[in-house]
Amino acid sequence: MNDKMAIVDCESDDLLCVRDSESFDNNKPSIWLNDDNDDIDIQQFFHKVESDEIIYQTKKKRCKMIGKYVMGDMLGEGSYAKVKEALDSQTLCRRAVKILKKKKLRRIPNGEENARREIQLLKSLRHKNVIELVDVMIDEEKQKMYMVMEYCVGGLQDMLESTPDKKFPTWQAHGYFCQLLDGLEYLHSQGIVHKDIKPSNLLLTLDGTLKISDLGVAEALDLYAADDTCYTSQGSPAFQPPEIANGNEKFHGFKVDIWSSGVTLYNLTTGQYPFEGDNIYRLFESIGRCQLTIPTDLDPTLQDLLAGMLEKDPETRLSLQLIRKHPWVIRKPARTLDFVPVPPRAGDETHSMTVLPYLFDAYGEASHQGSNEYITERQLNEEQRGSRLPVMTDDLGVGCSTSTADNGAAAAAAEPKRSWRRPTSCLSVKRLSSCRPS
Amino acid sequence: MSIKFSSDPMEYQLCSLLGQCTTDIAVVFLGRYTTNGCLVAMKKYNMEKISRTETELIQDEIILMRQLSHSNLLPCLASFVSGHDVVAISPLMGYGSCHDLILRHFNTGLPELLIAIILRDILQALNYMHQKGMIHRAVRASHILVGSDGARLSGLRYACCVRQNSNNYSRRVHSFPLTTQPNLNWLSPELLQQNLLGYNEKSDVYSLGITCCELANGVVPFADTPTTLMLTEKVRGMAPQLLDCTTYVIYDDTGQPNEDTDCRMNDQMREYSLRKFSEPFHDLNELCLMCDPHERPTPAQLLTHAFFKQNRRNTQPLYELLLPAVPIAEENVPEIQDDLESILAEDKMSALDLCSVNWDFDR
């Protein structure tokens, strides 16, 4: 499948050649200028090109290392940062690297400060449901900063968007919400107000563990502060509580996170937002009035929880402790058959390492890939048609190896009885001779 | 073992140094339980030098060793805190690990019959663990300990449950084992790939296949290979092999098989190209190293493999097969005792090593 991805990645400038170039040459260029000559046979301009005559060159995946990390494909792009997949070349652990450019950071308000604060906060945190910052690297020359983080397969927002009614089955939403509570409780215990809880900031690891991410606008309360009073907020408008929408000068930080978690839960379970508006003024007006309508087809206990979390007055809004004791939270809903999976990335449902093609390139795949370097449009079409069929030819996606031809060994091994054994590859022989018994 | 071992540090007497742990987090001593004079292995973890994640792993390991009970799994007889150290007491495995055996006596690998005996024991242990819903995740020669009554599997520090979170109904694991760097060469392609397909108990079978090669060849496949190259080779389906005259052909510069015994061919290589392992052994190794985990047999299925037929025919006792290696036993304890004083002194010195204390103000 990596092969296919490479082809899909083909850019127009990779289009190498179109046959019939001679016939193009035969056409006099002057014809194009002579536009009053109407009865020119159109066939003279437009040559039919067979699909196997359009040849693409597969985009080369050039292996790039930053520190000890081998870089892979782009996972996402934000306003001021790119996120790429990476592989720790020592531990072989998958990672995600957030790449910040100083130049871009300067352009956004508080950009540099937010980035610095996020790093400082993440460094001191350690919890199962909070994204872990593994490493930070700075390239002074390129004016870039690399934040190496735990690898996540996707976010709740992408999952919601992949479903027709933009919501999760109750049991799944319940699971994520409980993990959100765990992470949030930890953050609050460390004196940190996240201020930007929303589905797109809740990521999932391979095993489905929820990670609260993006602490870019979070605030660490002063160690000696009397309470959780905050003065600024830069979170997403749709998730802001009435006290911020109404422009209060100061507000309780923790209750802001409760509100936005409430909006998140509302969104996860109904597929809608409790407050909407065409623009930010209308939206804030709607939030400020706080006329909440909760769909009556929801579980009554869930309705009660949502009403408690989306309480206009922060003083009477539920606290984290009360939410934990709420009947809807305590009672785990029964698992139903419906389940929203993490949507495939670039057609790959298994979310396999995107670093592998780069590594194959680095370790000289010439003998294996030679035949696939150029690919015609027809092959591409056929391959796409083939991939649409439900038949899975390689049943484990281990088929990152480019073609089955190079797997002579595996194919031979599959035969029940075989007389010929593949000689050890020169690689292992070399390794062995260099290996001295001690 | 029916004897009850106390967890009082005063009842154990250090005799000599047995070895260092692969990751350097622990030192293993030969000890004597003074109550009954029984020799034991004492694994000492210096908690001052260990990170928080590793502390948790050690804790999990000791708990797991005490929970599981199988004659081919290394048990923990007692554990206690003594000074800066956490000490875990295990029965003494006289021959040490298979890795030690290879280093000291069998540089080009163990004899096939010996491997068959050891492998059978380890398969029993794996079968037991898998039945309990555990994956070992670190099967390797250095975790296989040999005593005069057979082999036992250790290294439970890396083990995990197949069902880690309650949401996981499909029997798949996705977690990448922490601090697993020293075991990378043994890990299965599906574990290393870290994708949504995850992995399961079959991952241990792949590691066992790699261990087979390690035991037979005397060196683990992909030793000296960059880890990233090892990954791509495994993902592409390159299966390591047992080196004998059917697989190990020496080519000269023109690419032709070279029969001459020229100077480039050292003793180790000659040994490989002259010996021959049985067909069932090659077959077993290939089955274990199937790239697709569905095609790999389970440990229970492997136990019925033709390779183990030779165990039944065999009349040679284990100690004879293991010669020239001799076990540590009552008779040869005193002669290795002299080095202990210096080790203990060194140990005391490192305890006094105040300069290396790092205060971590970030926390």
Task: Provide the residue count of chain A.
Answer: 438
Give per-residue burial for B102-120: e unless 16+ CB within 10 Å, then b: bbeebebbbebbbbbbbbb
Confirm if A295 and A266 have CB atoms less than 8 A apart: no
Answer whether the bond into residue B324 is a cis peptide, omega within 30°. yes
Instruction: Answer whether A90 sits within 8 Å of B181, measured CB to CB.
Output: yes
Of B195, B227, B282, the CB nearest to A397: B195
Longest C-alpha distance within chain A, in Å? 88
d(CA B49, CA A119): 27
Q: How many other CB atoms are found less than 10 A from the CB of residue A426?
A: 10
Q: Collect all residues of chain A within an 8 Å Cβ-Cβ radius of residue B248.
A: 423-424, 429
How would you class A218 by CB atoms within 10 Å of its CB: exposed for 0-12, middle for 13-18, buried for 19 or more? buried
Closest approach of B309 to chain A, Cα-based (Å) = 19
Q: What is the mean pLDDT of chain A?
A: 77
The pLDDT of residue B181: 82
Closest approach of A305 to chain B, Cα-based (Å) = 23
The pLDDT of residue A10: 39
Give residue-wise pLDDT tens across range B9-54.
888 888 888 877 766 778 888 888 888 888 899 999 888 888 888 8
Confirm if A261 and A320 have CB atoms less than 8 A apart: no
Query: Across the A/B interface, how many CB contacts are shorter than 8 Å?
Result: 155
Q: What is the pTM of this model?
A: 0.78
Instruction: Answer whether B243 sits within 8 Å of A424, measured CB to CB.
Output: yes
Confirm if A228 and A257 have CB atoms less than 8 A apart: no
Instruction: Answer whether B219 sits within 8 Å of A432, measured CB to CB.
Output: yes
Pair of tokens at residue B143: 């975790």
The pLDDT of residue A83: 93
Edge-to-edge, what's the strand order for the sheet holding B12-20? B12-20, B26-33, B38-46, B85-91, B78-82
Of B181, B196, B240, the CB nearest to A153: B196
Q: What's at B341, amino acid-wise?
A: E
Q: Is A332 annotated as a binding residue?
A: no
SS3 B280: helix
> Which residues are bridge partners to A103 per DSSP?
none
The pLDDT of residue B339: 57
The pLDDT of residue A272 is above 80 = yes
- Chosen for mutation from B228, B243, B245, B271 (greatest number of chain A CBs closer than 10 Å) is B228
Question: pLDDT: is A124 or A412 the higher one?
Answer: A124
Give residue-wise pLDDT tens across range A247-270.
888 899 999 999 999 999 999 999
The pLDDT of residue B126: 96
In Å, what is the CA distance from A4 to each residue of A80, A394, B20, B219, B238?
30, 14, 48, 38, 22
Q: What's at A348, amino acid-wise?
A: D
SS3 B197: coil
> Which residues are bridge partners to B73 per DSSP?
B153
In 3D space, the residue among B185, B188, B162 whose CA is nearest the CA of residue B175 turns out to be: B162
Alpha-carbon torsion (A235, A236, A242, A248), positive or negative:
positive
Q: For residue A406, how far is the Cα from the chain centroid?
A: 32
The pLDDT averaged over each successive group of 10 residues in chain B (363 residues) is 77 83 79 87 87 85 90 92 89 90 90 93 95 92 92 91 60 80 92 91 95 93 91 91 80 53 63 87 94 93 92 83 79 57 59 50 51
Q: Collect all residues of chain A within an 8 Å Cβ-Cβ radius of residue B190.
A: 396, 398
The pLDDT of residue A306 is above 50 = yes
Using only the alpha carbons of chain A, give its radius of gyration: 28
Q: Collect all residues of chain B within an 8 Å Cβ-Cβ radius of residue A356.
A: 231-232, 235
Alpha-carbon torsion (B249, B253, B256, B262), positive or negative:
negative
d(CA A261, CA A263): 5
- Listed range (A364-378, A408-422, B237-251, B343-357) with the worst mean pLDDT: A408-422
The pLDDT of residue A27: 42
d(CA A33, CA A55): 30
d(CA B35, CA A406): 63
Q: Per the residue annotation, which of A88, A165, A196, A257 is the catalytic one?
A: A196
Question: pLDDT: is B175 or A421 the higher one?
Answer: B175
How would you class B162 by CB atoms within 10 Å of its CB: exposed for 0-12, middle for 13-18, buried for 19 or more? middle
Give per-residue burial for B90-101: e unless 16+ CB within 10 Å, then b: bbbbbbbbbbbb
SS3 B70: coil
Question: pLDDT: is A112 or A274 the higher one?
Answer: A274
Closest approach of A218 to chain B, Cα-based (Å) = 19
Please give the domain boundaries of chain B with CATH numbers for all domains: 12-92 (3.30.200.20), 96-242+277-322 (1.10.510.10)
Alpha-carbon torsion (A367, A368, A369, A370), positive or negative:
positive
Q: Collect all residues of chain A within an 8 Å Cβ-Cβ radius of residue B107.
A: 437
The three-state DSSP-derived secondary structure of chain A is CHHHHHHHCCCHHHEEEECCHHHHHHCCCHHHHCCCCCCCCHHHHCCCCCHHHEEEECCCCCCCEECCEEEEEEEEECCCEEEEEEEECCCCCEEEEEEEEHHHHHHCCCHHHHHHHHHHHHHHCCCCCECCEEEEEEECCCCEEEEEEECCCEEHHHHHHCCCCCCCCHHHHHHHHHHHHHHHHHHHHCCEECCCCCHHHEEECCCCCEEECCCCCCEECCCCCCCCEECCCCCCHHHCCHHHHCCCCCEEHHHHHHHHHHHHHHHHHHCCCCCCCCCHHHHHHHHHHCCCCCCCCCCHHHHHHHHHHCCCCCCCCCCHHHHHCCHHHHCCCCCCCCCCCCCCECCECCCCCCCHHHHHHHCCCHHHHHHHCEEEHHHHHHHHHHHHCCCCCCCCCCCCCCCHHHHHHHHHHHCCCCCCCCCCCHHHHHHHHCCCCC
- Chosen for mutation from A354, A396, A436 (greatest number of chain B CBs closer than 10 Å) is A396
Compare all CA atoms of chain A with the CA of B184 and give the residue at the minimum distance: A91
Instruction: Answer whether B196 sits within 8 Å of A426, measured CB to CB.
Output: no
Confirm if A129 and A183 have CB atoms less than 8 A apart: yes
Instruction: Answer whether A437 sits within 8 Å of B103, measured CB to CB.
Output: yes
ipTM given for this complex: 0.82
The pLDDT of residue A290: 86
The pLDDT of residue A294 is above 80 = yes
Instruction: Answer whether A425 sits within 8 Å of B107, measured CB to CB.
Output: no
Closest approach of B347 to chain A, Cα-based (Å) = 26
The pLDDT of residue A38 is above 90 = no
Pair of tokens at residue A417: 């009885």
Instruction: Answer whether A92 sits within 8 Å of B362, measured CB to CB.
Output: no
In 3D space, the residue among B157, B164, B217, B146 whose CA is nearest the CA of residue B183 turns out to be: B157
Please give the domain boundaries of chain A with CATH numbers for all domains: 65-150 (3.30.200.20), 154-330 (1.10.510.10)
Of A359, A400, A437, the CB nearest to B107: A437
Is A313 catalytic? The answer is: no
The pLDDT of residue A375: 59
Q: What's at B204, amino acid-wise?
A: D
Instruction: Answer whether B292 sits within 8 Å of A398, measured CB to CB.
Output: yes
Q: Collect all residues of chain A within an 8 Å Cβ-Cβ radius of residue B226.
A: 89
Question: pLDDT: is A346 or A404 the higher one?
Answer: A346
